[in-house]
Chain A
Amino acid sequence: DQQVKQNSPSLSVQEGRISILNCDYTNSMFDYFLWYKKYPAEGPTFLISISSIKDKNEDGRFTVFLNKSAKHLSLHIVPSQPGDSAVYFCAAIYTGNQFYFGTGTSLTVIP
Chain B
Amino acid sequence: GAGVSQSPRYKVAKRGQDVALRCDPISGHVSLFWYQQALGQGPEFLTYFQNEAQLDKSGLPSDRFFAERPEGSVSTLKIQRTQQEDSAVYLCASSPRASNTEAFFGQGTRLTVV
Query: How many interface residues does A have (CB within 8 Å)?
Result: 25
Interface of A toward B, CB cutoff 8 Å: 4, 6, 32, 34, 36, 41-46, 49, 89, 91, 93, 95-104
4 smallest A-B Cβ distances: which pairs?
Answer: A101-B42, A43-B105, A98-B45, A97-B48
Binding site for A on B (CB under 8 A): 4, 6, 31, 33, 35, 40-45, 48, 50, 55-56, 59, 91, 93, 98-108
Within 8 Å by CB of B107, from A32, A42, A101, A104, lies A42
Tell which of A6, A32, A45, A99 touches B43, judged by Cβ atoms closer than 8 Å. A99
21 contacts between A and B (CB under 8 A): A32-B101, A36-B105, A42-B107, A43-B105, A43-B106, A43-B107, A43-B108, A44-B91, A46-B102, A46-B104, A89-B42, A93-B100, A93-B101, A97-B48, A98-B48, A98-B59, A99-B100, A101-B43, A103-B40, A103-B41, A104-B42
